[in-house]
Amino acid sequence: SGAGRKHRLSILGSTGSIGTNTLDVIRQLGGRDRFDVLALTGSSNITLLAEQAIACGAKLAVTADAGQYAALKDALAGSGIAVAAGPSGLLEAAGMDAEWVMAAIVGTAGLAPTLAAARRGADIALANKECLVSAGALFVETIGKAGGRLIPVDSEHSAIFQVLEEDQRHAVERIVLTASGGPFRTWTREQMADVTAEKARAHPNWSMGLKISIGSASMFNKALEMIEAKHLFNVRPEQIEVIVHPQSIIHSMVGYTDGSVLAQLGCPDMRTAIGYALTYPLRSTLNVDRLDFAKLARLDFEAPDEVRFPALRLARLALTRDGLQGAIMNAAEETAFHAFVAGRIGFLDMAEVVETVMDQMVDVAPATAIDDVFAADAEARVRAAEVITAR
Ligand code: NAD
Ligand code: MG
Q: What is the DSSP string of 127-185?
A: --HHHHHHHHHHHHHHHHHHT--EEE-SHHHHHHHHH--GGGGGGEEEEEEEE---TTT
For the stretch 339-349, pLDDT in tens is 999 999 999 99
**Confidence at residue 205, expressed as pLDDT on a 0 to 100 scale:** 82
* Interatomic CA distance for residues 251 and 245, integer angstroms: 9
For residue 215, which atom of ligand 1 is closest to its CA? 34
Average the pLDDT over 61-75 and give the result: 98
Q: Minimum-distance ligand to the CA of 160? A: 2
Among 95-99, 201-205, 310-314, which stretch is predicted with the lowest mean pLDDT? Answer: 201-205
Of the candidates 101, 311, 130, the residue with the CA atom closest to the CA atom of residue 231: 130
Non-local (6+) Cβ contacts of 198 within 8 A are: none
Q: 251, 178 in Cβ contact below 8 A?
A: yes
Residue 218 C-alpha to ligand 2 middle, in angstroms? 13
Helical spans, DSSP H, in 280-309 = 293-296
Most ligand 1 atoms within 8 A of CB, residue of 14, 18, 274 to mutate: 18
- Tell me the pLDDT band of 350, cut-offs 50, 70 and 90: very high
- Tell me the pLDDT band of 363, cut-offs 50, 70 and 90: very high
For the stretch 129-138, pLDDT in tens is 999 999 999 9
For residue 206, which atom of ligand 1 is closest to its CA? 40
pTM: 0.97
Q: Which amino acid is at 185?
A: R
Residue 1 has pLDDT above 50, yes or no: no
Residue 298 has pLDDT above 50, yes or no: yes
Question: Can you state the percent helix, strand and coil of the chain, rounding each to 5?
Answer: 50, 15, 35
Residue 282 C-alpha to ligand 2 middle, in angstroms? 22
Average pLDDT of the chain, as a whole number: 97
Task: Provide the CB-side half-sphere exposure for 150 (13 A, CA).
Answer: 26
For residue 211, which atom of ligand 1 is closest to its CA? 2
Residue 214 C-alpha to ligand 1 middle, in angstroms? 13
Does residue 223's CB lie within 6 angstroms of at least one atom of ligand 1? no
* Dihedral sign (CA 367, 146, 283, 278): negative
Domains in the chain, please, with CATH? 7-152 (3.40.50.720), 157-268+288-390 (1.10.1740.10)
For the stretch 132-171, pLDDT in tens is 999 999 999 999 999 999 999 999 999 999 999 999 999 9
Q: Which amino acid is at 91?
A: L
Residue 222 is assigned to a ligand binding site? yes
**Confidence at residue 3, expressed as pLDDT on a 0 to 100 scale:** 55
